[in-house]
């Protein structure tokens, strides 16, 4: 074996008891399998990945704890386009109707948020990113419900009575 010569299966199993998360658990299970003579090629096939991806087994040949070795470092990602105060101003704005900020619309949409962000903060966001920002602000996507705005209430009541009489089955006259 090229890797893990100085680590016992018992040490790997103990580390397995102490890790949280899917990826570290998967890595330790793969290391245990490797110690039990499963090849890197077989591991790659089991995990539906390339053999070179399994090279992270080398990470375990270190002086740091096994729990730390199988865990990826935090990735910070891209810097946000909005500063914290701008983000807060945006969130405050979307919790009120769009009319409060001078936009003639009944509700916030990702496209409307995109326009507001460009006009107010001079930043460009994609529609999916605006959807994410609205979700982060605590809003949820809702489809508009159709209403019979011009329906006659008497006709609606009559329809419901006929429906009750027919046992819930409606058939046209």
Mean of pLDDT over the chain:
84
Task: Please give the residue range of the domain that contains residue 20.
Answer: 9-69
C-alpha angle with apex 48: 128 to 58, nearest 5 degrees? Answer: 100
Radius of gyration of the chain (CA): 29
- Residue 145 falls inside a structural domain: no
The reported pTM is 0.47
User: Closest by alpha carbon to 136, among 85, 95, 76?
Assistant: 95
Phi, then psi, of 56 in degrees rounded to 5: -65, -10
Residues 107 and 59 in one domain: no
Residue 172 dihedral angles phi and psi, to the nearest 5°: -65, 150
30-34, 60-64, 103-107, 115-119: range with highest mean pLDDT = 115-119
Cα gap 58→35, rounded to integer Å: 13
Q: Are residues 17 and 45 in the same domain?
A: yes
The total number of structural domains that make up the chain: 2
Residue 152 lies in a domain: no
Q: What digits encode the pLDDT tens for the residues 98-136?
A: 999 999 988 899 999 999 999 999 999 999 999 999 999
Final residue in a domain of this structure, among 28, 44, 69: 69
d(CA 166, CA 160): 10
Q: Look at residue 54 and tell me if it is in a domain.
A: yes
**Residue 75 included in any domain:** no
Task: State the pLDDT confidence band at 60, using cuts at 50, 70 and 90.
Answer: confident
pLDDT recorded at residue 172 = 56
Q: What is the DSSP letter of 74?
A: P
pLDDT for position 3: 67
Q: Which residue has the higher pLDDT, 34 or 146?
A: 34
């Amino acid at each position: 074996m090229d890797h893990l010569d100085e680590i016992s299966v018992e040490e790997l199993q103990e580390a397995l008891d102490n890790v949280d998360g899917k990826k570290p658990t998967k890595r330790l299970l793969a290391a245990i399998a490797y110690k039990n003579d499963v090849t890197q090629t077989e591991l790659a096939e089991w995990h539906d990945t390339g053999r070179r991806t399994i090279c992270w087994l080398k990470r375990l040949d270190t002086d740091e704890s096994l729990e730390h070795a199988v865990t990826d470092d935090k990735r910070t990602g891209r810097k946000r386009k909005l500063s914290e105060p701008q983000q807060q101003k945006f969130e405050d704005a979307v919790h009120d109707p769009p009319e409060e900020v001078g936009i003639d619309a009944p509700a916030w949409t990702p496209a409307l948020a995109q326009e507001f962000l460009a006009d107010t903060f001079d930043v460009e966001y994609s529609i999916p990113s605006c959807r994410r920002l609205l979700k982060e602000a605590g809003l949820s996507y809702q489809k508009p419900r159709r209403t019979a705005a011009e329906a006659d209430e008497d006709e609606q009541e009559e329809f419901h009575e006929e429906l009750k009489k027919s046992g819930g089955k409606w058939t046209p006259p």
